[in-house]
Chain A
Amino acid sequence: MEGVISINRLDSKGMMSLGVVLIISGFCYTAPAKLTAYFPAGAYVWVGLTAVSVGLACLLADKLLGGKSLCQGAEIAFGKGVGKAVCVGFGFFSFLYASLHLGEFSRAVEAFLLPASPRIFVLVIGAILGLVLCIVGIEPMARYAFVICIGAFVMVSVIFVVTLSDAEPGNLFPLISKPSLSGIGICLRVYTGVLFCLFVPGISPDAKSKTSFKATLIAGLFMTLIMLFYNLCIPYPASLKYAYPLHRLSLLANSTLLFQRLDIIVYALWMFLSFLTFGASALFACNMISRGLGLKNPKAIAPAVVFLCFLVCMYNLDLEDMLTAVSVLLAFVIFPVVVFCYRIVVGRVKDK
């Protein structure tokens, strides 16, 4: 199973940065608004709690798998056939993830930056850049991700500082609302980017150690802060009315001599995070599908995968519900079953 695409050189910092980018990129679009619908003024609490829970689950999975990926674990536990099926399944998930991000990006750009332009124009730019990243490979992407992670924290901090005058602690009350299954599903969906750290085989053991745990916690902090500031600055139910919360926060910033219009920060974030996420998840999709189907060169199917993503976005298929369902299936069924069966098999081998 090893060696279809070499990502052994990926170090811990690179993989962690990529994990953070893959998680947070979805949160800069409509996810906070969807969470607000389920958790009126306390969505940030749920985002934070989910980060800790997912982080601990990843830590446990890493320990139980002993440095192996979930695909390798499935192969050891259930045999080669199931291992390949898990690879293809995760490839399909990566494909959905890539399409969702290209779609979110093109919708946002169409709504705010190029309202009079045809959608195909935005999609073509996104798809070509994604394809270039896909061909360039994982290592440059990881280096690029590290820079973007730092940039995202700095840029979003500027928005927080400047909107602080609009923050009203009373908006955080009532603090607790009844959790709903759909709300928790969306919370979990937000963190599915971390699965890339767990599923992808061929990463060096050094990069594996606690990478997913750290990536989840860092991304969780970032997203909890965005949610907290949105809840602080815009009271419920007014907060339901804005589809792009981070963009709304950036508009709220009082114009000063230094900062005239902060929405440019959000446009830049969308651009950098989405291209990287699209490129990385498309690359993972190619990699996993090639492994599953026994193809030798994953780059060969990259244009086809990117073109399929482009078509899915062009016809505006709603992937959010499907991705949420797949995420919950991965998190609650495939993930624990693979890990525990792997442990049982490994335990039996040791006993013999």
Chain B
Amino acid sequence: MKIFSFILAIVLMLPLCGCYDNREIDTLANVLALGVERAEGGIKLYTFAIGNTGGFGLESSGDGANLLCIGAYGKDIAEAVSSADLRLGKKLSFSHTSVVLFSLDAAGEGITEDAMYFDTNHKVRPQLVLAVTDFSPGEYLGKLSTLLEPNADKYFQAIFTSTQSYTPSLRLSEFMNAHFCGYTVTAPLMTGNISKSAVSENDVAVNGAGIIYDGKLKGYTGDMSFLGLFYSQKDVYFEGTVIRSIKRPEVKLKGNTAEIEIFARAEGNIDENSLADRAESLLEKYSKNGADLANIMYFARKNHVFYEDYRKFLNSVKDIKYSVKITLERYEK
């Protein structure tokens, strides 16, 4: 009996060792980055930057040889993927995709459908970064230098974290959570000069934040200092003064007024009251578009012990007013 069990176990292991679907690496096209932009006629142009793993008829070294860019039109990503699959004769695989770049107009139209496509594909990592570009992502990916190929993840991380001060980041999982919960998120806004024939990581940078709510880009700002003060404990700059949050802001809701208190350290003299006024006007500006930059709804959860009370609060709350207080602890260098 033992010998029979042993033989059976070994025989059953055999089909498990290989891949029953018989997908070999040269039948797959590994998409390293994806660009999404609006095209004419209510459709979108999807640009797939594919790593050269062989079988594309490209040289494995030399300028521009390690990356193949293929564009496909479609009303949604599934249609574009089918079209690209047919043209390539390979199956697009998103298991190594590091970043999805949306042009401003595509992001304004909505990114939920595309994000949902990736979120429901378990081979895609939820750490996939979503970003907004003020240039054509398709053109940018087409001109990327060969540096991208070995490690696309690190390549884009270097761009997104090129400065010491705060820059926003948006992972796929964060976007999906925010979308389902009705929170506001900020995505890195990439700007730069891509008119050259080959673009390197030094030609583009994150110089702003796209404000995304309800799956759509509601606006963008180049002033990331307040966002940094609110969301991170990194250095931010106000007229040459370095400020850094010490801890997370405290948010209390009193009726329809959100009282936000920020605790920070400042290197040098800066007036807290004028900073607070600026923060209030920034929050109110975006709240008119429906965005909640201070994520009041998230903090409101903590103010409620019973779920039923929280639900009542969500139904009743309208036109939030902001009252910001900044407490600065000064220090000299």
Contact = CB atoms under 8 A, between A and B. Distances in A.
A174 B304 CA distance: 5
Contacts of B126: 251-252
A173 B1 contact: no
Nearest to B310: A174
A132 B306 contact: no
B16 interface: yes
A78 interface: no
Contact of A174 (B9, B12, B21, B307): B307
A153 interface: no
A246 to B, nearest CB: 13
Given A117-B21, A132-B8, A235-B177, A170 B307 contact: no
Interface string A163-202: 0001000110111111000000000000000000000000
Contacts of B307: 40-42, 174, 176-178
A263 interface: yes
A237 B181 contact: yes
B308 interface: yes
Contacts of B310: 173-174
A171 B66 CA distance: 43
Nearest to B248: A170
Interface string A225-254: 000000000111110110000010001101
Contact of B20 (A111, A114, A177): A114
Interface stretch (A8-16, A90-98, A121-129): A121-129
Contacts of B15: 121, 125
A112 B177 contact: no
A115 B136 CA distance: 35
B8 A174 contact: no
Given A114-B20, A234-B177, A132 B5 contact: yes
B234 to A, nearest CB: 16
A236 to B, nearest CB: 7
A128 B301 contact: no
Interface in B7-45: 8-9, 12, 15-16, 20-21
A136 B306 CA distance: 51
Interface string A98-113: 0000000000000110
Contacts of B179: 238
A132 B12 CA distance: 11
Contacts of B135: none
Interface string A135-146: 110000000000
Contacts of B305: 173-176
B122 A173 contact: no
Nearest to A248: B126
Contacts of A177: 306-308
Contacts of A254: 127
B56 interface: no
**Residue with the greatest number of chain B CB neighbours at <10 A, chosen from A174, A235, A237:** A174
Given A40-B307, A176-B307, A177-B306, A238 B180 contact: yes
B258 to A, nearest CB: 15
B8 A128 contact: yes
Nearest to B119: A241
A252 B172 CA distance: 10
B6 to A, nearest CB: 10
A129 B12 contact: yes
Given A112-B122, A174-B307, A136 B21 contact: no
Contact of A132 (B9, B180, B304): B9
B306 A238 contact: no
B127 A173 contact: no
Contacts of A238: 176-177, 179-181
Interface of B: 1, 5, 8-9, 12, 15-16, 20-21, 122, 125-127, 173, 176-177, 179-181, 298-299, 301-302, 304-310
Q: Nearest 5 CB-CB pairs, A to B?
A: A177-B307, A238-B180, A238-B177, A174-B307, A174-B304
16 contacts: A111-B122, A112-B122, A114-B20, A115-B21, A116-B20, A117-B21, A125-B12, A125-B15, A170-B302, A174-B304, A176-B305, A235-B298, A236-B181, A247-B122, A251-B122, A252-B173
Given A255-B127, A263-B122, 17 more contacts: A116-B21, A128-B8, A132-B5, A132-B9, A135-B1, A136-B1, A136-B5, A170-B301, A173-B301, A173-B310, A174-B306, A174-B310, A175-B306, A177-B306, A238-B180, A240-B180, A252-B126
